[in-house]
Amino acid sequence: MLIVCWSPVMVEVWNGPGDKKTVEGPSRMPAPIRLRELIRTIRTARTQAEEREMIQKECAAIRSSFREEDNTYRCRNVAKLLYMHMLGYPAHFGQLECLKLIASQKFTDKRIGYLGAMLLLDERQDVHLLMTNCIKNDLNHSTQYVQGLALCTLGCMGSSEMCRDLAGEVEKLLKTSNSYLRKKAALCAVHVIRKVPELMEMFLPATKNLLSEKNHGVLHTSVVLLTEMCERSPDMLAHFRKLVPQLVRILKNLIMSGYSPEHDVSGISDPFLQVRILRLLRILGKGDDDSSEAMNDILAQVATNTETSKNVGNAILYETVLTIMDIKSESGLRVLAINILGRFLLNNDKNIRYVALTSLLKTVQTDHNAVQRHRSTIVDCLKDLDVSIKRRAMELSFALVNGNNIRGMMKELLYFLDSCDPEFKADCASGVFLAAEKYAPSKRWHIDTIMRVLTTAGSYVRDDSVPNLIQLITNSVEMHAYTVQRLYKALLDDISQQPLVQVASWCIGEYGDLLVSGQCEEEEPIQVTEDEVLDVLEGLLVSNLSTPVTRGYALTAIMKLSTRFTSVNRIKKVVSIYGSSIDVELQQRAVEYNALFKKYDHMRPALLERMPIMEKTASNGPTEIVQTNGEAEPSVVEAKHPPPVTQPTNQANDLLDLLGGNDVVPVIQTTVPTKPASAGGELLDLLGDLSLSGGPAPAPATSVPSSQPAFLLDGLTSPPLFNDIAAAGIPPMTAYNKNGLKIDFTFERANPNPNIAVITIHASNSTEADMTDFVFQAAVPKTFQLQLLSPSSNVVPTLNQGTVTQVIRVLNPQKQQLRMRIKLTYTHKGSAVQDLAEVNNFPPQSWQ
Amino acid sequence: MFALVANQKVVIDWPCFWVVLGGSFLPRGVYTVLLFKMQFMLLFSRQGKLRLQKWYVPLSDKEKKKITRELVQTVLARKPKMCSFLEWRDLKIVYKRYASLYFCCAIEDQDNELITLEIIHRYVELLDKYFGSVCELDIIFNFEKAYFILDEFLLGGEAQETSKKNVLKAIEQADLLQEVWWFQIWPLSLLVFSRISPAKPRHEYFNVPVY
């Protein structure tokens, strides 16, 4: 009888929680299905739609059960809701139910309630504040597991309001003798400090005895708490420096003590605690001679005694290396650390190799020579299959390039560029350009390298590489014949890489006579006829692969050849064909060139004369423009500026205007004595080409021609006017002025890319105390790109005795109005200051 | 979405997200977050189904879903021979595959990736001990237990206990506090005793919770 009576329950127990029959609950409603049963049902769904339908049905049942204030099954319903939440369905309507569960007396209810609160609630919803009181009660509960739940929830999701209210309770628990609560309270305190830093002082008394604790859980969490406090406040850091001997002792005990089964991980005693202590030592020893001295021995001991066959051992070694690198350690120890990383590089485990590369990258600036010794191993990592490792190896390889090893390293890196995934090509190409510019052993090598990059990764290089290369080629006079020959050959092979084709067209146009003359000292000269060269260029004009910009280059090149080649008639024909081109830009050129043939043929040779050597213009402002031969030569810079005299731009015939204008003749005459003035006109036009290549956007195309006439006239007839404009540049502005800290922006336009604005910030301090740890950060809208260079210092000296400067480069391809948000952090009179500001009043010249 | 940046080219998402140098990648009202350790932990299957999620930073559901989706895709696309780390936004992702489950943690740039692998491994060991050679189904059907174990091992993204024994002891004792059905049917425990096989973990027999 008894058995019959109990049997439903029994079946339930035996068949596990998913049994179809459910126990009758005390509620009037039929009992809702169990969690496990629901999971099982949902897993039988074959389609997404079926699953959604099941869930909707269940949600409806759960909602109605919630409405009935059903206490018995609330826990079950919330648990089911949590499962649905994990599947990605909305479960917000369970938020209040979680709070009710937390308030319940039953442990199961509390356990699920707190779990639900952690999953469904966070500080963004005000509802979470309703929990504060429940958590407070539970923190004082008589059962440690209830207290533990409350601590865990507070430490996971407590908002700053909650932390303020409950910090006292946490502090009390941090002082108990119960290690189960103490360890949780310590991590809770970490969370409280992160949320409300000013509460830090409150926990200071409780930290006194934390390190004398035997329990590893408490020790571990205490070290975390101390680390947090030290990182947040310099005062705490100074205060806790006295703990170094104690920490060293604990660490020593850990590595010296024999096997302890409870904390052993493959032969190493409590690696978690060891890593944590090492990290705290790193913070305490940073920039402090005495503390560093005190930990030298133990670090050497850890570095030599740790078993490295398993991942745990390497984790500890890795942390040790980081600590050695950060503190003021002895040089012997640093070498030991780099050698550990060198060993890591040879490890079979990819993870270890990855961390080795990462940490070598961090130390390469300080210990360059030590890292240099592992160069070959690092270069080998370029061939790794793993992208994470490859990327790190690439970055590190570039950091290791110097004047001595450039040839070897470049060979490897170019090989890498050939074979790497597309995602690496852009970075790798710009890395090669930078390194080549810095350390090129010879001009020929430099040109070869850049050409190699253009042939292998042409479509990935940055836009400004074309003008850069052209400038480089122009400047190496003795290499002209060689370069044009190489480029011509490259063109014959492949005309799909646009940047390469553009450079090649430009060079053939410029040095076509050298090409056909077959005089090349560097290489076996090739024999080509003028017609062959013109065939190639015309091929570019009709090729589908060519972009409009490339066609422009090709047409100009053909035009230039009219003074270098004898087959002028053929050129005339080509040019006149494009006078009716559908592409406005091309048509404009063709019409202009046609006019040159017809009306101004006497000026043509002078106009199309070879370009003078361009001076290297670093990214300086227009004020530093060098003028040679009475011509503003680096008009690359000028061309980018808004026209000083704004006239309605008439794109189609600016050159005609220029040449047809009444005042043209005097202009030319005035400059004839110095140098054929027409070269200046051509220079401008050709540089117009360069800037066109800067971006396919129509903006440069319109601004350049319009600036030319104005420039040519002003620049040649009245140089002072030009200088005034150049010197005036973009007006500086004050971006921030508060609490004695003033930040001014000055502007320059980068060369040769007109889209880059170079902003220099000047921070000055008018108060009577230095501002230390000064960090300036900036963010810009998505359409811009931002590059922050290193600041000149992190201390803003008092009473305007000096300024901190930092350069920001903003790439603004769409010429939108510049907006910027800045964030400032610094320490002033011992307290940390943070401020945010938005800068919207940029002068229009800085972005137009 | 965003990143930051000394000496490095970056794209920053404009409207809402601000970034702290060396800090959290996550949008924050306050900029106090410089030291967040583990930012979140995800468990997902080879099919990309989420099995567990633990967030140590406040984010909206939409953001969480977006991050999860993106990360699951990225991790699943990686080949088995690749290393366990991956740079994603300005976080480091440490992941490891155990049978059909991926365990995936997001840590900050300063953190030790190798010890994070150990933390993942420790969690797997704890699950294994508790469930008795754990499999994906255990975690699906007992997801709340998996959370309880995680919360007993990590708190706010930091390990709170370095001894396996202590974690399991705490879990088992807390389990005993739960109001379970077998308490109400204790006279039957004698009858069923013969059917308990040691291969099955204890909780399957005794801790049949009310939910």
Most B CBs within 10 Å: which of A15, A198, A387, as the mutation test of the B interface? Answer: A387
Mean pLDDT of A323-343: 89
Choose among A12, A351, A781: nearest Cβ to B114.
A351
In Å, how far is B62's CA from the nearest CA of chain A?
10
Distance, in Å, from the CA atom of B10 to the CA atom of A845, rounded to the nearest integer, reads 24
Name the more confident of A660 and B98.
Answer: B98
The upper half-sphere exposure of residue B78, i.e. CA atoms within 13 Å in the direction of its Cβ, equals 24
Q: Are B11 and A318 an interchain contact pair (Cβ–Cβ within 8 Å)?
A: no
Which residues fall within 8 angstroms of residue A109, CB to CB, at 6 or more apart? Answer: A74, A75, A101, A102
pLDDT at A729: 63
Q: Is A690:A752 a contact under the CB 8 Å cutoff?
A: yes
| A649 has pLDDT over 90 | no
The two three-digit tokens of residue A588, written as one number: 């404009």
Cα–Cα–Cα angle for A394, A490, A460, rounded to 5 degrees: 35
Which residue in chain B is spatially nearest to A124 when comparing CA positions? B58
Which residues fall within 8 angstroms of residue A382, CB to CB, at 6 or more apart? Answer: A390, A393, A394, A397, A412, A413, A416
pLDDT by residue (tens digit) across A651-663? 433 433 434 333 3
Mean pLDDT of A161-168: 93
Name the more confident of A462 and A622.
Answer: A462
pLDDT at A147: 95
pLDDT at A522: 65
Q: Is A174:A200 a contact under the CB 8 Å cutoff?
A: no
Which residue in chain A is spatially nearest to B39 when comparing CA positions? A156
The two three-digit tokens of residue A383, written as one number: 């061939």
pLDDT by residue (tens digit) across A33-74? 889 999 999 999 999 999 999 999 999 999 999 998 888 889
Q: Are A315 and B112 an interchain contact pair (Cβ–Cβ within 8 Å)?
A: yes
Q: Are A777 and B21 an interchain contact pair (Cβ–Cβ within 8 Å)?
A: yes
Most B CBs within 10 Å: which of A106, A141, A145, as the mutation test of the B interface? Answer: A145
The two three-digit tokens of residue A404, written as one number: 């001595």
Mean pLDDT score of chain A, rounded to an integer?
Answer: 78
Q: Are B118 and A160 an interchain contact pair (Cβ–Cβ within 8 Å)?
A: no
Mean pLDDT of A763-789: 81
Which residues fall within 8 angstroms of residue A34, CB to CB, at 6 or more apart? Answer: A17, A18, A22, A76, B211
pLDDT at A474: 84
Which pLDDT band, with edges at 50, 70 and 90, does B208 fall under? low
pLDDT at A63: 92
pLDDT by residue (tens digit) across A414-465? 888 888 888 888 888 888 888 888 888 888 888 888 888 888 877 777 777 7
Distance, in Å, from the CA atom of A716 to the CA atom of A811, rounded to the nearest integer, reads 32
Lowest mean pLDDT among A434-448, A794-808, B20-34: B20-34
Name the more confident of A410 and B24.
Answer: A410
Distance, in Å, from the CA atom of A715 to the CA atom of A671, rounded to the nearest integer, reads 11
pLDDT by residue (tens digit) across A687-701? 444 443 333 333 333
Mean pLDDT of A167-182: 93
Q: Is B137's Cβ below 8 Å from some Cβ in A? A: no
- B residues 156-185 lying closer than 8 A (beta carbon) to A: 156, 158-166, 170, 173-174, 177-182, 184-185
Neighbours of A626 (CB within 10 A): 12
- Chain A CB contacts of B147 under 8 Å are 115, 119
- Chain B CB contacts of A16 under 8 Å are 204, 208
Lowest mean pLDDT among A454-468, A534-548, B186-200: B186-200
Distance, in Å, from the CA atom of A740 to the CA atom of A818, rounded to the nearest integer, reads 26
Q: Are B211 and A775 an interchain contact pair (Cβ–Cβ within 8 Å)?
A: no
Candidates B136, B154, B171; CA nearest to B46 is: B136
Lowest mean pLDDT among A131-135, A749-753, B102-106: A749-753
In Å, how far is A293's CA from the nearest CA of chain B?
24
- Chain A CB contacts of B81 under 8 Å are 350, 385-386
pLDDT at A498: 84
| A629 has pLDDT over 50 | no
Candidates A85, A75, A31; CA nearest to A55 is: A85
| B183 has pLDDT over 70 | no
The enclosing H or E element of A591 equals: helix A584-598
Name the more confident of A110 and B88.
Answer: A110
Q: In this prediction, what percent of chain B has a pLDDT beyond 90?
A: 51
Size of interface A-B (CB pairs under 8 A): 258
Q: Is B189's Cβ below 8 Å from some Cβ in A? A: no
Q: Are B12 and A263 an interchain contact pair (Cβ–Cβ within 8 Å)?
A: no
Mean pLDDT of B134-143: 92
Gyration radius (Cα) of chain B, Å: 20
Q: Are A319 and B13 an interchain contact pair (Cβ–Cβ within 8 Å)?
A: no
| A161 has pLDDT over 50 | yes
Q: Are B155 and A155 an interchain contact pair (Cβ–Cβ within 8 Å)?
A: yes
Which residue in chain A is spatially nearest to B40 when comparing CA positions? A156
Q: In this prediction, what percent of chain A has a pLDDT beyond 70?
A: 81
Q: Is B40:B48 a contact under the CB 8 Å cutoff?
A: no
pLDDT at A488: 87
Distance, in Å, from the CA atom of B89 to the CA atom of B83, rounded to the nearest integer, reads 18
